Chain A
Amino acid sequence: DVKVTQSSRYLVKRTGEKVFLECVQDMDHENMFWYRQDPGLGLRLIYFSYDVKMKEKGDIPEGYSVSREKKERFSLILESASTNQTSMYLCASSMPGGWGEQYFGPGTRLTVT
């Protein structure tokens, strides 16, 4: 079974802090994704990566950056956290060509105060 793990289930940070969210997958998937999920807005893509050191902006990249130094690990960075970044953050991975068949982690609920 594909397993995608995220570093924290719950996180509380203060405005202006730098926040790191880590995601690890164990199935050797090329593609990895970061989403945020908000009530009434659904899942929105922040960034994705189709290979090590490659990254592409999604629909809402402002205020975020990513890092993919190893194939199995994809990190999301909030450079200076703001209250409007309070959300559920979901990481996912998929095989090449299997863009729609994504495997998700359990999510990190981030609260910025």
Chain B
Amino acid sequence: EDQVTQSPEALRLQEGESSSLNCSYTVSGLRGLFWYRQDPGKGPEFLFTLYSAGEEKEKERLKATLTKKESFLHITAPKPEDSATYLCAVELGNTDKLIFGTGTRLQVFP
């Protein structure tokens, strides 16, 4: 069964304390992996697309990486405004659909 699992479910960081969020997947064929940010009461906002193992994308304090079985979202020196739920999604190779993980809720305290 195609599955996307994110860990941890929740993460509390002190401002400036770097960490990583994990998205592991077991799917029959990966066409792409996507990261989104979701603020409370809002819809998800697209962040990154990764297509192949070894690929990396960066945006401000965020860097996403991809291996054959998982993706990491690294957050360097986070600020309180980085607090949000981060979702990953996998596009299957044989169907036109995404499978979303349940997200990691990140809280960054000053």
A61 interfacial by beta-carbon distance below 8 Å = no
Q: Is the C-beta of B78 less than 8 angstroms from some C-beta in chain A?
A: no
A100-B98 contact in complex given A42-B87, A42-B103, A43-B87, C-beta closer than 8 Å: yes
Q: What total of A-B pairs shows CB separation below 8 Å?
A: 56
Q: Which residues of B contact A (CB under 8 A)?
A: 31-34, 41-46, 49, 87, 89, 91, 96-98, 100-103
A100 to B97, CA, bound (A): 8
Cβ of A4: which chain B residues have Cβ within 8 Å of it? 43
Please determine whether A99 and B42 come into contact, CB atoms closer than 8 angstroms: no
Q: What are the residues of chain B within 8 A of A102 when measuring CB–CB?
A: 44, 46, 98
Check if B34 sits within 8 Å of A41, measured CB to CB: no
Closest Cβ–Cβ distance, residue B107 to chain A (whole Å): 17
